[in-house]
Structure 1
Amino acid sequence: MSSLNIPETCGVMLLPDCTLFPHGGLPLHIFEPRYRMMLADSLQGTCFFAVARLLGKEMDDPSRCASPVGTMGLVRASRELDDGTSNLLLHGVIRVKFVDWLDSPYPKARIMPVPSLFEPESQAKGALEALHEAADHVTRGLPSEVREALVNMTEQIDDPSILADVMAQQFLHDPDERQDLLEMESAAARVAWICRKFEALS
């Protein structure tokens, strides 16, 4: 992750009921003038900005209306339209805590990266097996082509902390559960939560 040179500050897009996980993708339509400015600054710099869940009505002080943990994303593709708006794909990179909100024309914060490491490593194989079983449960009932593609995708991931985030991004839909899971510091706890949640769906 250090090779990506995570910045110390970044713009933050505040979105109601929206939680992006690391290794997930989020398509966005950027139309507000402040976020158009944020995107321009991002593309001229690191190509990073973060997404934070907006909790209720937006206030002048984001610390009073935004989730304390969000996800830093990398702009993978961005296309500016004739009217000045843009369509883009943001790829989740790493959890971040919003340490301090800065004075800016758009929401901007000093951030602290929150690395996700599965511990103890000796239990990683068992965690992967449990997640694959949970993926099997949650994809039952889907068309066979879709199910096969999703199962193949999960089987290519050999890190349980990454697989947990990918499964949360794809299969978990409740906004509160998504945010709670994003803020859960222990990767092992996230894996256990996802396994219980998805295996209960059978």
Structure 2
Amino acid sequence: MAQGYVRVADLPQVIPVFPLPGAILLPRGQLPLNIFEPRYLNMIDDAMAGDRIIGMIQPRPGSSGLSPIGCAGRITSYAETSDGRYLITLTGCARFHLASELPARTPYRQVRADYLPFEADLAAPPVDDVGLDREPLLDALRAYLETRGLDIDWDTAETAPPEALINSLSMALPFEPAEKQALLEAGSLTDRSAVLTALMTIDAAESGDGDTPSMQ
């Protein structure tokens, strides 16, 4: 693992968070971010000067609150552009339950994170498809992409480690925020695969009927 954390006690208990609807981070997944708002530039500066940990979390729909579960990630790539933006990559460490939000003392929000319910996120990922039926997932992915006239490297999809395949699709495909949250909160990789398969199947069926606009 890039972050090298082996116990939840190794992770910082108070972390800054980046509330972003429609974006999730999963363990060992990599999320590129383009940072330009001053408060989040400040957040990156502080994180880079410390443990480099940031929590990705979705806002609660229609409120200023935060979703109950997010994922902590470590800044594993960092670059600054000529116009003052930061281009970073977060690598997922472990999901967390939002124990509490701290009173604002910084321009960005900070929370107390409880990682204990997700301690298994720190374990080595599975290297084979034990407990996973890959074919329904790939069939749903084919139908999903065909409705959008898109294609991927199928050799890679068919041979990728199960966690890398499922988590990368869960993070990259443009589902609604509530659907993204369901993928994030799935208890196991097999559960996440089932949710992902169902979402792609439903979306492909709706797109095929012309009810849902195609992904641009």
Change (3 A) 1:184 1:35: same
The residue number in structure 2 matching 1:13 is: 18
Identity of aligned residues (%): 25
The residue number in structure 1 matching 2:56 is: 51
Q: TM-score, normalised by structure 1?
A: 0.74
Change (3 A) 1:49 1:136: same
| CA RMSD in angstroms, aligned pairs only | 2.9
For structure 2, which runs of at least 5 residues remain unmatched after alignment?
Answer: 122-127, 206-216
C-alpha distance in structure 1 between counterparts of 2:160 and 2:27, whole Å: 16
C-alpha distance in structure 1 between counterparts of 2:66 and 2:198, whole Å: 28
C-alpha distance in structure 2 between counterparts of 1:11 and 1:163, whole Å: 28
The residue number in structure 2 matching 1:67 is: 67
Change (3 A) 1:143 1:185: closer
Q: CA offset at residue 37 of structure 1?
A: 1.6
C-alpha distance in structure 2 between counterparts of 1:193 and 1:116, whole Å: 19
The residue number in structure 2 matching 1:115 is: 119
Residue among 155, 159, 162 paired with 2:159: 155
Residue among 189, 192, 199 paired with 1:190: 192
Q: TM-score, normalised by structure 2?
A: 0.70
Q: Which has the higher strand share?
A: 1
The residue number in structure 1 matching 2:166 is: 164
Change (3 A) 1:95 1:162: farther
2:42 is the alignment partner of 1:37 = yes
C-alpha distance in structure 2 between counterparts of 1:69 and 1:7, whole Å: 16
For structure 1, which runs of at least 5 residues remain unmatched after alignment?
Answer: 60-64, 118-123
Higher mean displacement: 41-50 or 169-178: 169-178
Change (3 A) 1:194 1:17: closer
Partners of 2:58 and 2:177 within 8 A in 1? no
Secondary structure at the residue paired with 1:127? coil
C-alpha distance in structure 1 between counterparts of 2:150 and 2:183, whole Å: 27
Secondary structure at the residue paired with 1:139? helix
C-alpha distance in structure 2 between counterparts of 1:22 and 1:172, whole Å: 19
2:30 is the alignment partner of 1:28 = no
Q: One-letter code of the match for 1:192?
A: A
Q: CA offset at residue 42 of structure 1?
A: 0.8
Paired residues for 1:118-137 under 5 Å? 125=129, 127-128=131-132, 130-137=133-140
Cα displacement string for residues 92-149 of structure 1 (whole angstroms, at most 9, x for unaligned residues): 23211111212331211111222347xxxxxx84533x134412431353666x232x
2:175 is the alignment partner of 1:173 = yes
C-alpha distance in structure 1 between counterparts of 2:24 and 2:99, whole Å: 18
Partners of 2:31 and 2:89 within 8 A in 1? yes
Q: How many residues align?
A: 185
Higher mean displacement: 31-40 or 49-58: 49-58
C-alpha distance in structure 2 between counterparts of 1:45 and 1:98, whole Å: 21
Q: CA offset at residue 188 of structure 1?
A: 3.6
